[in-house]
Amino acid sequence: MHLVFIILVITIIYVLQKRLYHRYWKKGLRTSVYFDREYMECGEEANLALEIVNDKALPLPVFHFKFAVDRALRFMDMQNSVVTDCYHRNDAFSIMGYQKIKRSLRFVGTERGFFRVETVNLMVRDFFLTSTFAETRREDRGIYVFPRKVDPGMLTRLVCGKIGEQAARRSPVEDPLSYRGLRDYQPGDPYRSINMKQSARSGEWKVNLYEPTQDAEIRILLNLDTDSMVRADRLLEETISLVSSLARYYLARKERVSVWSNGKDENDNILTAPGPGAELSHGITIDKYLAEIRASAGKDAFLSRLDEEQKSINRQALYLIISPYYKEDLLNRLDRLMKEASLHVVVPYYSGMDAPERRSYLSGWEVDSYAE
């Protein structure tokens, strides 16, 4: 008789708890997964936070929190995870009533891109571990990993070489009526910009700063097609890194910079290029744009852009063309543009290949074909 009574009580408890979990398991259950910053440089470390709040009395004895993110984000903690085409994480918790759990996962951004945690999968089991309840929730949290920056010494040699010669041929880019202040002298500053009175007072060379005219800019045009059939992806990544580094270089010198490319996003749409800007914060806008590039719209899209530039040339701009592709159909257009504008072309190419030197306005950017 006692055994029958015990079985009956257990049965009633089992049925009641099953109904309770079926009805209330996700009531007051809040979850989120988010990055601790909006963007990071390639090679830097950041954190991905998981947060779970069970705002009810009913405990969740077995709670699984699952998500996936691109493997380009390399996590330090590999427990409860599997790496295939993505980094898959499955954390198990036992959550009491009115409890909050927060966990931080450290990772390194190893590749350029915009990476999301789009969904999380929740799975809960009841007290007797006989029933399973599941739900998929949208998160859509993301982080930009900016292009890797090139070696400053190599960049300075490139800019101070043929590019510097072309830059010097531009029309004056400063408005002498818009005085903005002083700064320390830097190698390459024109002699006429030195403020002799303030230099004598301070004992150090000081240079006048002026607001740039609205038409003067460094106009960087990026072509994402290449002649190389070997490791083309790596060559294009180096090309994007060069563009990012050049933009930062000129922005640090108060130049107005714009960037355009024939790049497409993950949805196969041509990306909207950022307009010109001179603030250092504009470098973040440009790097976000470059981080979102996933494919090329093709050579013809770039050639069409050059045709448009030819029709409305900005004679106070320095046109910097960055292109691993440099066949005659491109060079012929650049020859015409060169007659009316300050222009320089940089061609990234693999070491061991012949350096591209078909035009006076063209220089090569050697990329180590064996580097990772």
Chain segment 201-247, per-residue pLDDT in tens:
888 888 776 655 556 799 999 999 887 666 788 899 999 999 999 99
The answer on 292 and 165 residing in a single domain is yes
For all residues of the chain together, what is the average pLDDT? 88
The pLDDT confidence band at residue 294, using thresholds 50, 70 and 90, is very high
341 in the same domain as 242: yes
| Domain-located, residue 218 | yes
At 353 the pLDDT is 72
Give residue 196's pLDDT band: very low, low, confident or very high (50, 70, 90). Answer: confident
Count of structural domains within the chain: 2
Give the strand pairing for 132-146 and 39-41.
parallel
List, in order, residues 6 or more apart from 256 with CB less than 8 Å away.
212, 216, 217, 218, 276, 277, 278
The residues near 295 (Cβ < 8 Å, ≥ 6 apart) are 224, 263, 264, 268
pLDDT for 56-111, tens place per residue? 999 999 999 999 999 999 999 988 899 998 999 999 999 999 999 999 999 999 99
Q: CA 347, 349, 352, 356: dihedral to nearest 10 degrees?
A: -20
Greater pLDDT, 277 or 351: 277
Q: What does the alpha-carbon distance between residue 169 and residue 344 come to, in Å, rounded to a whole number? A: 12
Task: Choose one of 110, 128, 146: the last residue of a domain.
Answer: 146
Domain contains 116: yes
Whether residues 315 and 336 share a domain: the answer is yes
The answer to whether residues 288 and 348 belong to one domain is yes
156 shares a domain with 140: no
CATH of the domain at 52: 2.60.40.10
CATH of the domain at 252: 3.40.50
Query: Is 165 in the same domain as 111?
Result: no
Residues 260 and 338 in one domain: yes
What does each C-alpha distance from 60 to 51, 153, 168, 326, 350 come to in angstroms?
A: 15, 57, 69, 62, 57
Same domain, 351 and 263: yes
For residue 141, give Cα distances in angstroms to 106, 180, 349: 16, 41, 36
What span, in angstroms and rounded, lies between the C-alpha atoms of 361 and 330?
13
Residue 12 pLDDT level (bands cut at 50, 70, 90): confident
Instruction: Answer yes or no: is 190 within a domain.
Output: no
CB 222 within 8 A of CB 306: no
Residue 274 belongs to what domain range? 152-173+213-367
Place of tokens 């190599």: 154
244 lies in the same domain as 344 = yes
pLDDT over 90 at 163, yes or no: no
pTM here is 0.83
Residues 251 and 341 in one domain: yes
| pLDDT one-digit tens code per residue, 295-321 | 999 999 999 999 999 998 888 899 999
Statement to judge: residues 116 and 257 lie in one domain: no
257: pLDDT strictly greater than 80: yes
Domain termination residue (choose one: 109, 128, 146): 146
